[in-house]
Chains A and B, each alone.
Chain A
Amino acid sequence: MADTATIEKVSIIVSKGSLEGIYPALIMANGARAEGIEADLFFTFFGLDAITKKRWEHIKLATVGNPGLHLPTLLGGMPWVPDLVTRYMERKMDKLDIPPIPEFIEMIGDTGAGIYACKASVDLFELDKDDLVEQVQGIITVGEFYEHAAGGQIIYT
Chain B
Amino acid sequence: MPTNTYAGSAVPVDDEGFFTDPACWTEPMAEQIAEEAGIDTLTDRHWIVIRFMREQYAAKGTGPTVRVLGKTSGVGVKELYQLFPKGPAKTAAKIAGIPKPRGCI
Interface residues on A, range: 10 to 19
Interface positions, chain B 48-105, Cβ under 8 Å from A, are 65-68, 70, 76-78, 81, 85-91, 104-105
Contacts between chains A and B (CB distance < 8 A), count: 48
Contacts of B65 in A (CB 8 A): 34
Contact of B67 among A1, A2, A107 (CB under 8 A): A107
B44 proximal to A (CB < 8 A):
no
Contacts of A110 in B (CB 8 A): 70, 76-78, 81
Q: Is the CB of A34 within 8 A of B85?
A: no
Q: Is the CB of A107 within 8 A of B68?
A: no
Q: Mark A19-51, 1 if CB is under 8 A from B, else 0.
A: 000000001001101111000000000000000
Contacts of A27 in B (CB 8 A): 104-105
Task: Pick the most buried of A1, A34, A35, A36: most chain B CB atoms within 10 A of its CB.
Answer: A34
Question: Chain A residues in contact with chain B, CB under 8 A?
Answer: 1-2, 27, 30-31, 33-36, 96-99, 107, 110-112
Q: List 6 A-B contacts (CB under 8 A).
A: A27-B104, A33-B87, A34-B65, A34-B89, A34-B90, A97-B105
